[in-house]
Chains A and B, each alone.
Chain A
Amino acid sequence: MNETKKTFSVKGMHCASCVATIERSLKKVDGVSKATVNIATEKATVTYDPAKVSDDKLYSAVSNVGYEVIVNEEIRSEDEEKEEKVRELHDLRLKVAVSLILGSLLLWGSFPGLMQTAPLFLRDFWVQLIIAIPVQFWAGFTFYRATISALKHRTANMDTLVAIGTTVAFAYSAFVTLFPQLVVKIGIDPMPYFDTAAIIIGLILLGRYFEAKAKAGTSEAIKKLIGMQAKTARVIRDGKEVDIPIAEVIINDIIRVRPGEKIPVDGIIIEGDSSIDESMITGESMPTDKTNGDIVVGATMNKTGSFIFRATKVGQETMLAQIIRLVQEAQGSKAPIQRLADLVSSYFVPIVLMLAILTFAVWYIFGPAPTLLFALLNMVAVLIIACPCAMGLATPTAIMVGTGKGAEHGILIRDAESLEIAHKINTIIFDKTGTLTKGQPEVTDVIPFGAIDPNELLRIAGSIEKGSEHSLAEAVTKSAEAKQLALSKVEKFQAIPGHGVEGVIDDKKITFGNKRLMDKESIDTENANEEIGKLETAGKTVMLLAYDKELVGLIAVADVIKESARDGIIALQNLGIEVVMITGDNKRTADAIGRKLGITRVLAEVLPDGKEAEVRKIQTEGRVVAMVGDGINDAPALAAADVGIAMGTGTDVAIEAADITLISKDLKSVAAAITLSKKTMRTIRVNLFWAFGYNIILIPVAMGALYPFLHVLLNPIFASVAMATSSISVVSNSLLLKNKKIV
């Protein structure tokens, strides 16, 4: 029987008995073999025979017992959210238009020099009051609502400042309109400021409109990633090809992909070959040729051939899902640099309120006549100019754009803190094998000593290495197998990490490994020294084979250096970063490879468990160290480094161990990750400088600090222009990161 599994949301559950009721009802449906309901997630998972059971049958089994099934909830909720946003923006646009038009009429009728050109009715205070009311209480309602809600919690925000500021201006103007004689009596010309209140509301709402639009751009990367997923998969079940929704694909499904189609989930090719564009995941622009046994990744694009693959990861386990989760987590994390801004913004609004009261008092008590008017206008200017939003937006918007841009280039950053530390890196340690080299070593030389035949030497070496998992061992065994040499059975096999292997073949003790192993076993290698020297100087790794403690030959293995290695290292050196290579190879081999790559500091003969100590040693020199490795074999070293970078992989283990995961195997992406960090940090610094500087300079100006020297005061309308532009400029500056070159 061909079974399928489906999970859907159920609404209306209260207790464990609801769970049992729904499960019972689902199991009663003919063709359902398993049904589990989870009250915590409010989800039911059903395993059933699709030939017998339709979706409708499942849904009615749930609804018949009194619960509600949510079908296609994600699509619906996303659409709803979008609609809500569109509605909000539309509403905001209307309010901006109405308040700016009415505000302009008020300005025309009351601004000195301009009012003479206005029709008489616009100059009438009562008409102005009527025009100002909808702006103040309809368009400005949002400020009042937020203020009242916040005051209930004894908190205050920007809306509080705008609400108080505009209310003061409006109330004073209404008072002047209603009781002009009283105002004249205290020596003030009865002029209302309805225009000020209305224009401030219009401009701040306009700023908010642009800010909302710009903010939507900062989370674009996640939306793009989610949108990358294929919608359907062509699954072969019972010999028939059917298109099914991606959510219904299960592990081990056999899936056909035709040219030009998106690969639906992660898997392994079992038939056919093709060229695949993986740029959306790895950032590498060149398509990769893949064939039988190769791994394919969901959401990448099949270019030329048609192939069949077996699904190995579906749903939340796919690489794309992991990338999305990682980027979401990074965007939710906080950078240490943000702490000060957080601290300031939590005290900011109450402090501005206190400064506003102080401003009123100082101008009223010590200011020039008419003191009340100066006091009021300057207080309003202080309330309006203060902009806590810019401080709050400075860091997170840049982090969101930065991490999103990284994901587009196959650079996955674990959190904001890693992104922040990465810009300080001045030393990068590369693990040689699999990072600087391809990690697929090949046998280059087989040199026998004495009577032994080279093939026999290779056969024995291949036999003993058969049980080892080391990449060098694999090269030797592969080479023996390629020559169709019959491998012998090994007894008492033992692997000695960082040294080699030992075992018994045909009653003879075989020792195969590096010179260190020979020294350890007191095997004389004097005769071989010249050959070893030659091979090692050529950058080859030499392994020695001994029969019953007597040296019988050498096998040299060399790993191919990645094409991108030299350019990748130059790119880092151009950033002023010292590049270090760490390897288990002996010094001569390591130095030779180092020379080829242009690396002067080479740490050779480091055992696997010694890498962590080497990282710490360099850190004690006062260096900020990044360690680049595959994330699997060198997890402790990656964790010890200030920034651990896992490369050329997307496995859970690697992502877990690394602060930055580079999906691409291209070494230039290391420099790209650091450049991204530097550019993001620069954007954050500019944003914070702007946000803090703006408030530190303009609040005192609004208070009248320049008045004693220059007789300059800040008109509250200009204050609202400055306020509206300050948060937009911060968000826009973060968005500029999108266009910066990092590769």
Chain B
Amino acid sequence: MSPDKIIVAIVSVLGIGFTYWFFLGKNDKEFVASDSVDIMVDGGYEPEVISILKGKTIKLNFLRTDPTTCLEDVVLGDFKVREHLPLNKKVVIEITPDKKGEFTYTCGMGMYHGKIIVK
């Protein structure tokens, strides 16, 4: 095999490894919320992982600054909420989780994810 092909092979293996690590190997930081939490919607959700207590009502204040149409809606399927997020406008969603567990919330197309951990 010529040297350029060897280089391409090595770089590709490294590239695949990097892609895996970068996108799928991340550790989400958990944000412990009490009464309310501001969630920035810009290329994803920040904070992405929110931990809350069972039975306690929490306000999730979504603010979308990213015009990507994918992020237009936020869906909290386990809480039966699908809300339109107008650009640069705070949208407050109130939930009172009645069971413990991990519940994902996503954009309207299920591409961007966040997680609500109920303890």
Question: What residues of chain A have their CB less than 8 Å away from a CB belonging to chain B?
Answer: 40, 77, 80-81, 84, 88, 142, 145-146, 148-159, 208, 212, 328-334, 338, 341-342, 345-347, 349-350, 353-354, 357-358, 360-361, 364-365, 388-389, 391-393, 396, 415
Contact = CB atoms under 8 A, between A and B. Distances in A.
A142 B67 CA distance: 8
A342 B108 CA distance: 11
B111 A332 contact: no
Given A149-B42, A153-B43, A330 B12 contact: no
A45 B84 CA distance: 27
If over half of A's interface residues share one DSSP class (helix, strand or loop), that class is named, otherwise mixed; here it is helix
A389 B80 CA distance: 21
23 contacts: A81-B84, A145-B66, A146-B66, A152-B44, A153-B48, A155-B23, A155-B113, A156-B23, A157-B112, A158-B70, A328-B82, A334-B75, A334-B78, A338-B77, A338-B110, A345-B109, A349-B23, A350-B23, A354-B20, A365-B9, A388-B109, A388-B111, A389-B109
B19 A357 contact: yes
Contacts of B67: 88, 142, 145
B15 interface: yes
Interface string B41-62: 0111110100000000001000
Given A77-B89, A145-B67, A155-B43, 10 more contacts: A153-B48, A155-B44, A155-B112, A208-B69, A332-B83, A341-B110, A342-B106, A345-B111, A353-B23, A396-B82
A91 B108 CA distance: 22
Interface string B74-110: 0111111111101101000000000000001010111
Nearest to B16: A354
A729 to B, nearest CB: 15
Instruction: Please provide the 9 A-B residue pairs with the shortest distance between their CB atoms, ordered closest to farther.
Output: A149-B43, A334-B77, A392-B109, A332-B82, A153-B44, A361-B12, A350-B23, A392-B110, A329-B80
Contacts of B70: 146, 157-159, 389
A365 B22 CA distance: 25
Given A84-B86, A392-B109, A330 B80 contact: yes
Contacts of A346: 110, 113
A83 to B, nearest CB: 11
Interface of B: 1, 5, 8-9, 12-13, 15-16, 19-20, 22-24, 26, 42-46, 48, 59, 66-70, 75-84, 86-87, 89, 104, 106, 108-113
Contacts of B87: 84
A287 B112 CA distance: 48
B84 to A, nearest CB: 7
B98 to A, nearest CB: 15
B9 A361 contact: yes
B12 to A, nearest CB: 4
A153 B46 contact: yes
A146 B26 contact: no
Contacts of A364: 5, 8
B42 to A, nearest CB: 5
A145 B8 contact: no
B110 A357 contact: no
B80 A333 contact: yes
B43 A151 contact: yes
Contact of B43 (A84, A148, A212, A393): A148
A289 B84 CA distance: 40
B20 A145 contact: no
Contacts of A155: 23, 43-44, 112-113
A269 to B, nearest CB: 35
Nearest to B66: A149
Contacts of A342: 104, 106, 110
Contacts of B48: 153
Contacts of B83: 332
A349 B43 CA distance: 14
B16 A154 contact: no
A379 to B, nearest CB: 10
A80 B86 contact: yes
A330 B77 CA distance: 9
Contacts of A81: 84, 86
Nearest to A329: B80
Nearest to A347: B24
A396 B8 contact: no
A145 B19 contact: no
Contact of B111 (A77, A157, A328): A157
Nearest to A352: B19
A415 B111 contact: no
Contact of B19 (A338, A345, A353, A388): A353
A331 B82 contact: yes
Nearest to A40: B59
B68 A361 contact: no
A174 B79 CA distance: 50
A396 B108 contact: yes
B80 A415 contact: yes
B33 to A, nearest CB: 15
Contacts of A350: 19-20, 22-24
Contact of B15 (A329, A357, A396): A357
A621 B42 CA distance: 52
A455 B43 CA distance: 81
A332 B81 contact: yes
Most chain A CB within a 10 A radius of its CB, from B13, B16, B111, B113: B111
Given A145-B68, A159-B68, A392-B109, A354 B43 contact: no
A56 to B, nearest CB: 27
A181 B87 CA distance: 48
Contacts of A357: 12, 15-16, 19
Nearest to B45: A153
B45 to A, nearest CB: 8
A81 B83 CA distance: 13
Most chain B CB within a 10 A radius of its CB, from A80, A155, A156: A155
A157 B42 CA distance: 13
Nearest to A335: B77
B43 A146 contact: yes
A469 B43 CA distance: 60
Given A342-B106, A358-B12, A365 B5 contact: yes
B72 to A, nearest CB: 9
A357 B16 CA distance: 7
Most chain A CB within a 10 A radius of its CB, from B78, B80, B113: B80
Contacts of B5: 364-365
Given A332-B81, A396-B75, A154 B23 contact: yes
B8 A361 contact: yes
B6 to A, nearest CB: 9
A332 B48 CA distance: 20
